[in-house]
Amino acid sequence: MSNAGDHETSRLDDAARAGWLYYVAGNTQDEIARKLGVSRQSAQRLVSLAVSEKLVKVRLDHPIARCMELAHGLTEKFGLVSCEVAPSDPDAPAALTGVAQLAAGEIERLLKSDHPKIIALGTGRALRASVEQLPKMDCPQHRIVSLLGNMMSDGAATPYNVVIRMADRVNARHYPMPLPVFARSIEEKQLLQQQEAVHNILELARQADVTYVGIGNIGDNAPLLIDGFVSREEMRALLKAGGVGEITSWVFDRGGRLIDGLTNDRVASAVLHIAPAKPVIAIAVGIPKAEAILAAMRGRLINGLVTDEATAEHLLNH
């Protein structure tokens, strides 16, 4: 027994030596093989043994490292297809710029593709900030489609609609939705959606290759309330019905299931459509939104996320 132990030990010792020579001293496996008096293949085995036995530990001395870990953790935990986490600035924890830059980078990569893509956009402050970060580009091959109306009920343009702004910047065909966010009744909603143009846009949105949306929380400081889309009474009713968040104004509960009735009856925006290969990516920041983000991931309303470090941390620790 002691023999076997000794043998194992000396093998690990050699693995450690090989690992040191490789990672610390920067030797090639050939040199290690020569120094340790074994074949090159054995040296390779020793190095990979050192790795698999966790003898070598790699640490990344950069704020980004923590973000990458969080992103990886979220991806694993919620089965996302894409996740990015921007460093939080401790001096300005609520700032969107980090997240916006990150999201803009992701969108920019997407736009650089030569293959024509359909990009569907929701709404929200974070999404809008991201679009602001986009550089001027020329992408006539892509199409950008809105998931929801760009009008208040009174006909005024909504402040956070981003399709036009983005299309402006990147010179792509675009399809804003000529609807109010909420119809006044179920009947009006059906009527509106029967317009051919609207129908086409909804169909286009359904086919979107990538979808970016914001996430809103439900409550006193809900964007829907602040921006005047729903009344205080409606908000109270939504809360009472279990609503914790909304995406393109569709309100859902803790499990990410859409609430029956209430404002959802009158939402004119497209329903989110998840197919594993088609990313539906939320851009959302802030502890108050954590509950809503969690619910959206649980219910697989989204399969991608761009957020910041503080929010990501909170999401991983419930």
Taking only Cα atoms into account, the Rg of the chain, rounded to an integer number of angstroms, comes to: 25
* Residue 12 in contact with DNA, rule: CB under 7 A: no
Number of residues that bind a second copy (CB under 8 A): 31
* Residue 13 in contact with a second copy, rule: CB under 8 A: yes
Q: What, of a second copy, DNA, none, does residue 42 touch, CB below 5 to 8 Å by kind?
A: DNA
Residue 246 has phi, psi (to 5 degrees) of -145, 150
* Residue 22 in contact with DNA, rule: CB under 7 A: yes
CA 192, 194, 197, 198 dihedral sign is: positive
The residue among 109 and 115 lying less far from a second copy, judged by its C-beta, is: 109
According to CB under 7 A, which one of 48, 75, 82, 101 is a site residue for DNA? 48
Q: Are 282 and 304 in contact (CB under 8 A)?
A: yes
Sequence-ordered strand ranges (E) for 112-225: 118-121, 143-151, 173-180, 210-214, 216-217
Q: What, of a second copy, DNA, none, does residue 41 touch, CB below 5 to 8 Å by kind?
A: DNA
* Residue 314 in contact with DNA, rule: CB under 7 A: no
* Residue 287 in contact with DNA, rule: CB under 7 A: no
Distances in whole angstroms, Cα of residue 74 to Cα of each of 19, 67, 284: 31, 11, 14
Pairing mode, strands 216-217 and 243-247: antiparallel
Q: Are 191 and 103 in contact (CB under 8 A)?
A: no
According to CB under 7 A, which one of 12, 16, 36, 38 is a site residue for DNA? 38
According to CB under 7 A, which one of 6, 13, 30, 187 is a site residue for DNA? 30
Q: Is 92 exposed, middle or buried (0-12, 13-18, 19+ CB in 10 A)?
A: exposed
Q: What, of a second copy, DNA, none, does residue 240 touch, CB below 5 to 8 Å by kind?
A: none
Q: Nearest Cα to 223, choosing from 168, 119, 148?
A: 148
Query: With CB under 8 A as the contact rule, which of the stretches 52-60, 148-156, 161-169, 188-196 interacts with a second copy?
Result: 52-60
* Residue 39 in contact with DNA, rule: CB under 7 A: yes
According to CB under 8 A, which one of 24, 115, 136, 155 is a site residue for a second copy? 24
Q: What, of DNA, a second copy, none, does residue 109 touch, CB below 5 to 8 Å by kind?
A: a second copy
The residue among 45 and 173 lying less far from DNA, judged by its C-beta, is: 45
Q: Are 250 and 258 in contact (CB under 8 A)?
A: yes
The residue among 4 and 58 lying less far from a second copy, judged by its C-beta, is: 58
Which tokens belong to 183? 């119809």
Q: Give Cβ neighbours of residue 299 (< 8 Å, ≥ 6 apart).
A: 252, 255, 256, 257
- Interface positions with DNA (CB under 7 A): 11, 22, 28-30, 38-42, 44-45, 47-48
- Interface positions with a second copy (CB under 8 A): 12-13, 16-17, 19-21, 23-25, 37, 50, 54-65, 68-69, 72, 105, 108-109, 112
